[in-house]
Amino acid sequence: MTPILYSFRRCPYAMRARLAVAVSGVPVDLREILLRDKPAAFLAASPSGTVPCLVSEQGVIDESLDVMVWALRQNDPEAWLEMPDAGWDWIARGDGPFKRALDRVKYDSRYDAAEVEAARAEAVRFFEDLDVALRAGTGEWIFARASLADYALLPFVRQFAFIDKAWFDAQDWPHVQAWLERFLASDRFAAVMVKHPVWQA
């Protein structure tokens, strides 16, 4: 059985799963779904009802980071998993405080103004620290070379940047901005953002 990967093109969680699957070369049956019209087969497979959801003979994985690790443990040609332990700390910070801040800034009408401003301040601290880390590495990646941390974070940094791209570009985070722009201009990003027809059961 070829593993099935349920995905939604614009979801950053699904995006990072597709990035790892693509670099690993592990074949999957990609099924693009609409989150507003989730098919019964997907809902039957996914305990959380969220993308990405990977279904294989070994079971179901419906956490994006777990999908990334699943693919890379089978084949990791660019050694993304061979990163310093600090990489896992970056991912935890990105998936925790930064993602909460992202949601509050992006969907600001759902929260009071003080909460939104506190969230923006949290995001600013994240980007300031990330800029320092990128500068301390090669200037291109968080560590000496590309790792799981970079590709786990980039889809969410992209999402934050496009809330207000002019504001983001005006900040003093040159390494973060260059890191994101290289990603957006890369063949790798273009390949995982190809539009697929919505899967029909």
**Residue 124 contacts residue 182 (beta carbons within 8 Å):** no
In a domain, 201, yes or no: no
Q: Is residue 197 part of a domain?
A: no
Residue 82 Ramachandran class (φ > 0 left, ψ -120 to 50 alpha, else beta): beta
Q: By residue range, what is the domain housing residue 132? A: 86-186
100 domain-assigned: yes
Average pLDDT, the chain: 97
Do residues 133 and 65 share a domain? no
Say whether both 171 and 105 belong to one domain.
yes
Give the CATH number of the domain where residue 149 resides. 1.20.1050.10
One domain for residues 17 and 63: yes
Q: What is the 3-state secondary structure (H, E, C) of the chain?
A: CCCEEEECCCCHHHHHHHHHHHHHCCCCEEEECECCECCHHHHHHCCCCCCCEEEECCEEECCHHHHHHHHHHHCCCCCCCCCCCHHHHHHHHHHHHHHHHHHHHHCHHHCCHHHHHHHHHHHHHHHHHHHHHHHHCCCCCCCCCCCHHHHHHHHHHHHHHCCCHHHHHHCCCHHHHHHHHHHHHCHHHHHHCCCCCECCC
Q: How confident is residue 201, by pLDDT bands cut at 50, 70 and 90?
A: confident
pLDDT at 139 over 80: no
| CATH number reported for the structural domain that contains residue 10 in this entry | 3.40.30.10
Considering the chain, what percentage of its residues have pLDDT values greater than 70?
100
How many structural domains are present in the chain?
Answer: 2
pLDDT at 55 over 80: yes
**Does 90 lie in the same domain as 181?**
yes
Condensed to tens digits (0 to 9), the pLDDT of residues 62-98 reads 999 999 999 999 999 999 999 999 999 999 999 999 9
111 and 72 in a common domain: no
Assess if residue 198 is contained within a domain.
no
pTM assigned to the model: 0.96
Q: How confident is the model at residue 15 (pLDDT cuts 50, 70, 90)?
A: very high
Q: Which residues are paired to 60 by β-bridges?
A: 55
The reply to whether 161 and 137 lie within a common domain is: yes
